Amino acid sequence: MPHKIGFVVVSSSGHEDGFSARELMIHAPTVSGWRSPRFCRFPQEIVLQTAERCRMKKLQLLAHQYMIPSKVEFYVSERLPEPFAPPQAERFRRLGYVSLCDNEKTGCRARELKSVYVDAVGQFLKLIFHQNHANKYNIYNQVALVAINIIGDPADLGDESNIASREKLIDHYLGHSLEDPALEGSCSGKSDYISPLDDLAFDMYQDPEVAQIIRKLDERKREAARQERYDDAKKLRQALADLQKVGERLGRYEVEKRCAVEKEDYDLAKHKKRQMEQYRAWAFEQLHSLVDRELVGRPLDLPLQPLAPSGSACHRPPALPPPQGGTVTENRFADQFVPEKPPSHPLDVDQPLPPTHPPLKTQLESLPYDERPLPAVHKQPRAATVEPEKSDTDVSEAPRGAAVGEPEPLTEKALREAGSAVDVLGESLVAGAYSKSWSCREDALLTLHRQLMGTPASTPREDLKSVLRAAVFLLRRAIRDIVTPVFLASLKVLKMIVTQYIPKHKLSKLETAHCVERTIPVLLARTGDSSARLRIVASSFIQEMALCKEVKSLQLIPSYLVQPLKANASAHLAMSQMDLLARLLGDLGTDGTGFTVDNVMKFAVQALEHRVHEVRETAVRVILDMYRRHGAVVLAYLPPDDSATRKNVLYKSIFEGFAKIDGRPTAAEVRAQKKAATEEAERRKKEEIEVLQGQLAALKEMQAEVQEHEGEAVEAEAPDTLGRSAAPPGAPGVPESPGLENLCIFCGERSASFTEEGLDLHYWKHCLMLARCGHCRQVVEICSLTEHLLTECDKKDEFGKCRRCGEAVLKEELPVHLETRVCAPAKPEKLASRCPLCHEDFAPGEEAWKAHLMGPAGCAMNLRRTHVLLKAPAALRGKGPATAKSGTSAPKAGSKIPTPKGGLSKSSGRTYMKR
């Protein structure tokens, strides 16, 4: 069977003062291990020699909390190479490497315990440490190793093979196989079984003296089991479990004492020393009272491993970085303990100090990170985890002569407290429920379960009620128990009482209500336990009980769940209560279940102010569920939906959730729709501008073609100047057309500045025949402004046509417009045209439009007329200097301008451009 192999340090590449590699040879809670020199060169190397040639099965490394190497390589060899041998003569064989975590998740407050399984034969083990992980605490770029453990077998291959073959032959004849389920639990019989006492975690967490006692008792226990002395083996097993607690406590006291010495707090160090002595004496006295002296011997006389003096620098506890938040994960533990404060009154030396063991299994998460047990302790068999005493008072009152496995007699305090239960259930059962041993408490609950199940139906009703109330009294105590098996047993008994005992004996609802009212508050308190597993178990049990038909009709559990959260309550308790409320609300609803709109909404709104964000998020889900069920009734419990309220992220999410439930767009969706509409409008404007620019380009091409055709016609019809006489002045002739260059096709004005950009500017600002729509900012002809507002404008849906005057009027003003009859009736288009600016009638035709819009006495509402009035009066509007010189007339203002097919025409009413 593999066991712990002793070793010595042969060599190392270097070390810091006070942290030699030889410290790795000692395993104890106060060792500090090896550290490399400051600013050393990598890789660093350590060579170990085992006490004998062995087959290594398992290597364990305990890394430093912040001086962590990135990688550690392992090499094994039968013997060391010669000092001056060539490199190729190196006899070490590489096994592989392991990578170590950078420890950022724990804030460099925990150490990593790395276990490596190998199969290598040799007597020398070489470790190579590579570059360290960088962090703010490792300012000298060092690497360190706190401890190393080697587990294996002697490498006598001949005997080993003979033993293995002999065992296989015996198994063959007995009909056993390696996978025989009957042998599954027999760990000690396996050739590869490794005792937990050989694990590195055991020595690094135990007092060295107690650790040797534990190993000696473990040998006695296995020997007793082999000799079939099972009563002795049972006693030794219980003593081993108790001793492990004692060793852990003494190891913690030793570390606290060393810390106090380092800080020169000698009063605290003296107090810790006296505390250790008293606790050690009390523990050994208890041990001798539990186990016969023949089995144990005198613990204080056992040989101990050599320890360095207490003042040695190599045993100083390593300094930790400043405290930070974080939890300890599996395979990690902290290297120091939090020292206890000394009592305010002087300690009585004559009175033995009772132990107050930290719970081993059920309160791990409630301890500070640096008081957590090692991972190896988690894996101890169930029988080895013994529940400590409940309190100092109970220990001092309890008799010390009780045998292990039997409940000790009740104390006077317990008799006064549980007198009624003793009268009904008997003293032995109640004593088991009050026992210091968790196994006795569990057995008492299981016995109570059997008694209740076997109660005959002919039992008088009053006796049934008395038994029920006594059982509930014990269950309240058991539900508070910190040991998981005891807690689970209490839930089993409680479920049986509610679902079987009460219905079987047809007890009234008052008994069910008594059972629920006495146990639910305690169960709710357990939902705030530090253990996630216990929280889940307690919450699931409460939910199951609330849905039970015997309890559901009472409507008791919902009333407990809607009680306001206490400000000083733990975060786990608040989260569990909110989660239970949400789940049961979905299962039960609010119709005659104890949940009402009023109590649920008041609780949820108050929970929105809780400091834990999980509680607030669950409260939001509950409010949304209530709105989905009851609609606008819940709005009375919330602040108004305005901008000030929506500044709170929770209320914003609540109101947006309401909108989604109602099918309304949320504020974010409305903003997205507006943004999309704006982008679409901009895209349409850009497309229209591109179309208009194309039309202008086509119009220019047509103007060039017209000029070319007119020039050819003039050349063909012009008289020969040499053969003919000049025409008399004033005779009618064919005028030379100057073309359409530099001409506004709307107002007929010609200017040399009318280039492509100049015409755009003219149309946009100065042309008297055009105007910009005040609603969509598009440039349109004034004569078609009414049609534009009704059919083409972006705001056309806001306009309506007056059936009296035919003009475009805002729909919201149209009723008043029709009622007041302030508009003049429209005349037929053949008789008159109406200006949409000044609403006056004038003669139809384009010339009349020009006269009205461009003339000095024309439309007073045409704001662009100021541009004309500032200019010098011209004889004929629309004739430029080029026209006078050439002797040809420009196209009339009202004449049709040829446009490309599908292009823009003056009378088309289409938009020319927009910006």
Give domain status of residue 346, yes or no. Answer: no
Tell me the chain's radius of gyration from C-alpha atoms: 49
- Residue 672 pLDDT: 83
Total number of domains in the chain? 5
- Residue 823 pLDDT: 87
- Residue 305 pLDDT: 38
- The tens digit of pLDDT for each residue in 93-139 reads 899 999 999 888 888 888 888 888 898 999 899 999 999 999 999 99
The more confident residue out of 470 and 379 is: 470
Q: Are residues 472 and 585 in the same domain?
A: yes
Q: Are residues 687 and 621 in the same domain?
A: no
- The tens digit of pLDDT for each residue in 275-301 reads 888 888 888 777 766 555 444 444 434
Whether omega before 343 lies within 30 degrees of 0, making that bond cis, reads no
- Residue 291 pLDDT: 59
- Residue 388 pLDDT: 37
Give domain status of residue 191, yes or no. Answer: no
Q: Are residues 74 and 121 in the same domain?
A: yes
- Evaluate whether 37 touches 322 at the Cβ level (below 8 Å): no
Give domain status of residue 900, yes or no. Answer: no
CA distance 468 to 472: 6
- The tens digit of pLDDT for each residue in 592-635 reads 888 888 989 999 888 888 888 888 899 899 999 898 888 888 88
55: which strand partners?
121, 153
- The tens digit of pLDDT for each residue in 476-516 reads 999 999 888 999 999 999 999 999 999 999 898 899 999 99
- The tens digit of pLDDT for each residue in 316-337 reads 333 333 333 333 333 333 333 3
- The tens digit of pLDDT for each residue in 73-84 reads 999 998 876 655
Identify the CATH number of the domain in which residue 152 sits: 2.60.120.260
Cβ atoms within 10 Å, residue 300: 11
The more confident residue out of 156 and 158 is: 156
Average pLDDT over residues 544-559: 88
The more confident residue out of 669 and 122 is: 122
Boundary of a domain, candidates 646, 663, 680: 663
Mean pLDDT is lowest, of 1-10, 213-222, 357-366, 434-443, for 357-366
Q: Are residues 772 and 698 in the same domain?
A: no
CA distance 249 to 255: 10
Q: Residue 481: name the closest of 539, 429, 433 by CA.
A: 433
- The tens digit of pLDDT for each residue in 372-398 reads 444 443 333 333 333 333 333 333 333
Average predicted confidence (pLDDT) for the chain = 76
The more confident residue out of 91 and 162 is: 91
CA distance 74 to 129: 9
CA distance 604 to 582: 10
- Residue 476 pLDDT: 92
Q: What is the DSSP string of 574-630?
A: HHHHHHHHHHHHHHH-SSSSS--HHHHHHHHHHHTT-SSHHHHHHHHHHHHHHHHHH
Rounded to 10 deg, the angle between the 649-662 and 613-630 helix axes is: 30
Q: Are residues 794 and 857 in the same domain?
A: yes
- Residue 814 pLDDT: 86
- Evaluate whether 888 touches 736 at the Cβ level (below 8 Å): yes
Q: Are residues 267 and 282 in the same domain?
A: yes
- Evaluate whether 110 touches 62 at the Cβ level (below 8 Å): no
Q: Are residues 630 and 694 in the same domain?
A: no
HSE-up of residue 448 (Cα within 13 Å, Cβ side): 38
Give domain status of residue 46, yes or no. Answer: yes
870 pLDDT tier (thresholds 50, 70, 90)? low
- Evaluate whether 844 touches 832 at the Cβ level (below 8 Å): yes
- Collapse the DSSP code of 152 into the 3-class scheme (helix H, G, I; strand E, B; otherwise coil) and give the result: strand
763 pLDDT tier (thresholds 50, 70, 90)? confident
Instruction: Copy the structure tokens of residue 616.
Output: 């607030």
Percent of the chain clearing pLDDT 70 (strictly above): 73
The more confident residue out of 402 and 652 is: 652
141 pLDDT tier (thresholds 50, 70, 90)? very high
- Collapse the DSSP code of 63 into the 3-class scheme (helix H, G, I; strand E, B; otherwise coil) and give the result: strand
Q: Are residues 575 and 473 in the same domain?
A: yes
Q: Residue 565: name the closest of 557, 556, 576 by CA.
A: 576
156 pLDDT tier (thresholds 50, 70, 90)? low
Cβ atoms within 10 Å, residue 649: 10
Task: Could you list the beta-strand ranges (E) of 604-760.
Answer: none
Give domain status of residue 185, yes or no. Answer: no
- Residue 718 pLDDT: 56
401 pLDDT tier (thresholds 50, 70, 90)? very low
Let me know the angle formed at the C-alpha of 337 by 336 and 342, rounded to the nearest 5 degrees.
140
Give domain status of residue 336, yes or no. Answer: no
Average pLDDT over residues 821-827: 84
Identify the CATH number of the domain in which residue 546 sits: 1.25.10.10
- Evaluate whether 369 touches 327 at the Cβ level (below 8 Å): yes
Give domain status of residue 556, yes or no. Answer: yes
259 pLDDT higher than 50: yes
Average pLDDT over residues 201-217: 86
Q: Residue 375: name the closest of 21, 62, 691, 68 by CA.
A: 62
Q: Are residues 609 and 679 in the same domain?
A: no
Cβ atoms within 10 Å, residue 562: 20
Q: Are residues 776 and 696 in the same domain?
A: no
Place of tokens 């006070």: 18
Boundary of a domain, candidates 634, 663, 692: 663
- Residue 716 pLDDT: 64
Q: Are residues 108 and 239 in the same domain?
A: no
Bridge pairing between strands 799-801 and 44-63: unpaired
- Residue 344 pLDDT: 33
In terms of average pLDDT, the best of 164-168, 302-306, 668-672, 762-766 is 762-766
Dihedral through CA 164, CA 165, CA 166, CA 167, nearest 10? 50
Q: Are residues 625 and 689 in the same domain?
A: no
Give domain status of residue 41, yes or no. Answer: yes
Residue 544 belongs to what domain range?
Answer: 437-663
Task: Could you list the beta-strand ranges (E) of 478-559.
Answer: none
For the entire predicted model, the pTM comes to: 0.38
- Residue 326 pLDDT: 34
HSE-up of residue 88 (Cα within 13 Å, Cβ side): 0
16 pLDDT tier (thresholds 50, 70, 90)? very high
Boundary of a domain, candidates 867, 883, 905: 867
Mean pLDDT is lowest, of 240-254, 487-501, 758-772, 888-902, for 888-902
3-state helix, strand, coil in the chain (%, to 5): 45, 10, 40
Measured in Å, how far apart are the chain's first and last C-alpha atoms? Answer: 92
Which letter does DSSP use for residue 22 in this model? G
